[in-house]
Amino acid sequence: AFVSILKNNTSRNGQVHVVRDNKKIVAYSLIYIKDHIAVYLVDKVGYISDLYVLPKYREHGLSSQLKREAVNWFKSKKMKCV
């Protein structure tokens, strides 16, 4: 069975989300807030840098779960663009 996503609060502008099966890391995402990007009309953008699921664990909704967690975190930071 999959354990809940563990959130590593590496900074106030970024997080690492990890999904474990027992003690083994089977999926992760790296997310952060980018600010002052010249090509966007908004000051800050929520950015999913990396998202990976081991092949054996795909088709179980883990990437969707990681994306939902990312969007929820961005919303908690008042981000409007992801």
CA-to-CA distance for 25 and 27, rounded, in angstroms?
6
Name 66's Cβ contacts closer than 8 Å, sequence gap at least 6.
5, 17, 19, 27, 28, 29, 51, 53
Q: What is the mean pLDDT of residues 67-82?
A: 85
Per-residue pLDDT of 12-71, as tens digits, reads 788 888 888 888 889 999 998 877 666 666 677 888 989 999 999 999 999 999 999 899
Q: Looking at the predicted structure, is the pLDDT value of residue 78 above 90? A: no
pLDDT the model gives residue 51: 95
pLDDT the model gives residue 79: 80
CA-to-CA distance for 17 and 19, rounded, in angstroms?
7
CA-to-CA distance for 55 and 52, rounded, in angstroms?
9
